[in-house]
Chain A
């Protein structure tokens, strides 16, 4: 699986979360450092400035204290000497001792003073003060002696060293901020690596199926939308194939999910190999795949694609030593003919897929608008069928089964009919498979058993001792046939000897061990078992020996072309002789002509059933046939049972 392969599905480029995280961390860190640095530097500036004011003021106070005598005695030399002490002070640019009349008594400038300029307004202030003039601090300190102000000292301090110190702080702050940002960057790089990887993984998962590595449903929908936009510009349309694995659940259930996943991977790679390189195979979910075929239009092209995909899975796949023959059903549809938007196009392909499954799986079907109607109808019928029992819409029809030799009616086959209140009679071929797939067959089967047993009882009470053959499905057998029959017998009080169970050859061999046990239990009750549609199942004859069965029914397929088809005649003959040699009786069904009857009678078929004798009719009407049989007591009944 290559996560980084070229893919057309990601609409954006590169990691977004990582970039945003980096940006967010840098902005947050930068703003925090800027604000903190600014506050710190402003604080440093003001505290340093206050310290300078304090320092210069203290110096001015000391000078004032020491200058009072000099002022009082007008001693310039002494005043100058006092000021000379400032030589050690680096910040002082200029100092003055001012007499009471504002006259400068002494003045001082450091030798190395680069800057000069004492703007000395006349002495007027009795109180100490300071002010900032350009880049200097000017401090005025009155000189007092004996409670009187006798003059003043004025100091001018240079602010440049203060600025230099603050600038140094700013520089240190900037360097510290840069170091902090560098550290943040290192941390972010590490986090971003994880975020990018996670984002890439999420991105991949958003568009790809992790099991097969194919684009997923989301990606498929986007791709379909993109292709739709090209129709009318660069293409005339495109095809959509939907594939569903038949019986994939069996693989999962019997071999386990890991092997199921490997099978899906193998199928994905098969699909990719067999389809055109511009086609895109996607996993649509579960065991469903779709193939998007750009610029593929026309029914013949769709057929080619359908055949190619079926062929892709024709060869068995070996997974961990298990050779798996994976079959699939395929539905095809095309844009714009079969759907105006992505959803309706997918639905069309899905409908065609359903049709292919209904047609017996491992085949493909191309969407035609009528399918939609059928599918809608199927959905409706499926829903209605669940209510059919409680609404009394089901009933049984009975078709007589006669002894070949005499033509006497010995039994009937109960056949289920559904009279839909709106749609009329629904053919069993339509609704029974539906009931099979939905599971409703179990309840319906129980109802059939109940009704058949009630009918046996009614006829017995009327003196008609004919058997009633009831078809049961594989699902019913799996649910435990014995219990269902017990219920029906107990509720009706019917004689079990008059109940016959018909099981198709397919159902019979599905789980043979369980069936043997169940059918043996039925035999012990005196219930007979017939194998329906015998000869169509292509299965081993060995089970005939193992199963406790009484009767075989020759499928109508072998009767239809009698007596002209030599093959069918040979098969019918073979089944009859096989049955007799295994001490089973034989019924031929689907007899429609006199010639067919003659042929079967000639070959010693025991019983006959078909339109030639009677169509399936109601319980009331079928009674008319019972009169044909020889009337009699227990001897006749034994004969029937013995049959």
Chain B
């Protein structure tokens, strides 16, 4: 797999931060997993919260890449990856990653997430803006982030202005 130098650099920064696996091990899913992790870095989590639980569907393409990040430090909190079952309510999720396949295969789950107002990140260009807080999309050599503020507000968290400044679009 060939990565653009910039994408590799972004991954390296995550690797530096988290002392993750060497750069040569990175592939597209690992890169996306790093971006998801970095987005969570720029969220101001409540003080009493000691873990950041990212919920992912069992057959999500990034699951294995994200799992490798499980247990890492995220702003003095522990980053954890949870597998979401179709029949369970995602009540313990702080955030969720949904890919295009999830929208088709796990529609009820996605609906639950949106109903509960979980902070949702997606790489699906078709993801509904109303319930998806952040959508990442490859644009040439890099990924662009689109932020949907109503969904962010619904998740009752605050995004760092630093992240907002990077966003390609911020929808109100």
Contact = CB atoms under 8 A, between A and B. Distances in A.
A277 interface: no
Interface string B19-50: 00000000000000001001001100000000
Given A146-B75, A148-B17, A150-B16, A78 B166 contact: yes
Nearest to B19: A148
A146 B74 contact: yes
Interface in B9-23: 9-10, 12-14, 16-17
B14 to A, nearest CB: 7
Contacts of B75: 146-147
A75 B145 CA distance: 11
Q: Is the interface of A mostly helix, strand, loop or mixed?
A: mixed
Contacts of B160: 69
A74 B6 contact: yes
A100 B76 contact: no
Nearest to A150: B13
Nearest to A148: B17
Contacts of A20: none
Nearest to A66: B162
A509 B76 CA distance: 136
A233 to B, nearest CB: 105
Contacts of A146: 17, 41, 73-75
A213 interface: no
A349 B160 CA distance: 118
A145 interface: yes
A323 interface: no
Given A69-B42, A145-B41, A147-B76, A74 B13 contact: yes
A72 interface: yes
A323 B118 CA distance: 138
B84 interface: no
B142 interface: yes
Contact of B9 (A66, A69, A81, A103): A103
Given A146-B75, A147-B76, A78 B165 contact: yes
Nearest to B23: A101
A99 interface: yes
A99 B165 contact: no
Contacts of A71: 13
A78 B42 CA distance: 15
Nearest to B11: A74
Contacts of A74: 6-7, 9-10, 13, 142
Interface string A136-154: 0000000001111011000
A506 interface: no
Contacts of B42: 69
Give the interface size bracket for B toward A.
20 to 34
Contact of B13 (A66, A76, A100): A100
A68 interface: yes
Nearest to A151: B13
A268 B150 CA distance: 123
B164 to A, nearest CB: 9
A70 interface: yes
A100 B10 CA distance: 10
B13 A69 contact: no
A73 B11 CA distance: 8
B166 A73 contact: yes
A83 B139 CA distance: 23
Contacts of A151: 13
Nearest to A78: B166
Contacts of B86: none
B142 A69 contact: no
B116 interface: no
Contact of A101 (B9, B73, B76, B145): B9
A146 B41 CA distance: 7
Interface hub of A70, A71, A103, A146 (most chain B Cβ within 10 A)? A146
A70 to B, nearest CB: 7
Contacts of B142: 74-75
B163 interface: yes
Nearest to A71: B13
Nearest to B75: A146
Contacts of B14: 72
Interface string A85-121: 0000000000000011101000000000000000000
Contacts of B76: 147
B9 A99 contact: yes
Contacts of A148: 16-17
B137 to A, nearest CB: 13
B165 A100 contact: no
A69 B17 contact: no
Contacts of B10: 72-74
A73 B41 contact: no
B41 A72 contact: yes
Nearest to B160: A69
Interface hub of B13, B35, B41 (most chain A Cβ within 10 A)? B13
Contacts of A100: 12-13, 16
Contacts of B166: 69-70, 73, 75, 78
Contacts of B16: 100, 148, 150
A147 B42 CA distance: 13
Contacts of A147: 73, 75-76
A70 B164 CA distance: 11
A73 B9 CA distance: 9
A239 B66 CA distance: 131
A76 B6 CA distance: 9
A330 B95 CA distance: 135
Contacts of B9: 74, 99, 101, 103
A110 B114 CA distance: 47
Interface string B127-163: 0000000000000001101000000000000001011
Nearest to A82: B165
A150 B17 contact: yes
A68 B6 contact: no
A103 to B, nearest CB: 7
Nearest to A99: B9
A94 to B, nearest CB: 22
Contacts of A81: 165
- Ranked 6 nearest A-B pairs via Cβ: A69-B162, A74-B10, A100-B16, A74-B9, A74-B6, A146-B75
Given A69-B166, A150-B17, 15 more contacts: A66-B162, A69-B165, A72-B14, A73-B143, A74-B10, A74-B13, A75-B166, A76-B6, A78-B166, A99-B9, A101-B9, A147-B75, A148-B17, A150-B13, A150-B16
Interface of B: 6-7, 9-10, 12-14, 16-17, 35, 38, 41-42, 73-76, 142-143, 145, 160, 162-163, 165-166
Interface of A: 66, 68-76, 78, 81, 99-101, 103, 145-148, 150-151
11 contacts: A69-B160, A72-B17, A72-B41, A73-B35, A74-B7, A74-B142, A78-B166, A81-B165, A101-B12, A103-B9, A148-B16
